[in-house]
Amino acid sequence: MTNPLTPEQMAAAHAAAFTQSRPWSADEFASLLESPLAFAAGDARCFALVRVIADEAELLTMATDPDHQQQGLARTCMAAWESIARERGAAEAFLEVAADNAPAQALYRTCGFAECGRRAGYYRREGAEPADAVLMRKALP
């Protein structure tokens, strides 16, 4: 599940998955992928964008197109990006997720992530109350 993805494919999946917040544009994905520290894992149905700096991997965003949810793609994508991050020297991984995104939190917990902090009101949403960011971390043995 590590097919090359275009920024346009990533933006389309992100827009479909993130309906409560501003999705990232193809230009934003392209800009992030220009860095040798960043990489994508997955495919047009489900992908992760990750950055490895020193021995830490940060999940920048992950999206599963709603037409392809509940098929195990996110769990497969998690394993793929974690493997690539280890190959790039990461010993630890971290991410943040909206406090009201129970499905994503459940996925991350089943993949071994544990809460390590919170950012109050981090996710701003048009027409809705801000949501806290739950910070999660995991060792990459």
- Rounded to the nearest 5°, which phi and psi values hold at 140? -110, 85
3-class SS shares of the chain: helix, strand, coil, % to 5: 35, 40, 30
Alpha-helical runs (H) found in the chain: 7-17, 26-33, 73-87, 102-110
Q: Is 127 exposed, middle or buried (0-12, 13-18, 19+ CB in 10 A)?
A: exposed
Average pLDDT over residues 30-36: 94
Structure confidence at residue 2 (pLDDT) = 45
Average pLDDT over residues 1-14: 81
Whose CA is closest to 75, among 116, 32, 107? 107
Pick the range with the lowest mean pLDDT from 25-34, 68-77, 93-102: 68-77
Pick the range with the lowest mean pLDDT from 26-35, 40-49, 64-73, 84-93: 64-73
Structure-model confidence comparison of residues 109 and 129, the more confident one: 109
Q: Where are the domains of the chain?
A: 7-139
pLDDT in tens, 88-105: 999 999 999 999 999 999
78 in Cβ contact with 107 (< 8 Å): yes
Look up the CATH number of domain 7-139: 3.40.630.30
Q: pTM to 2 decimals?
A: 0.91
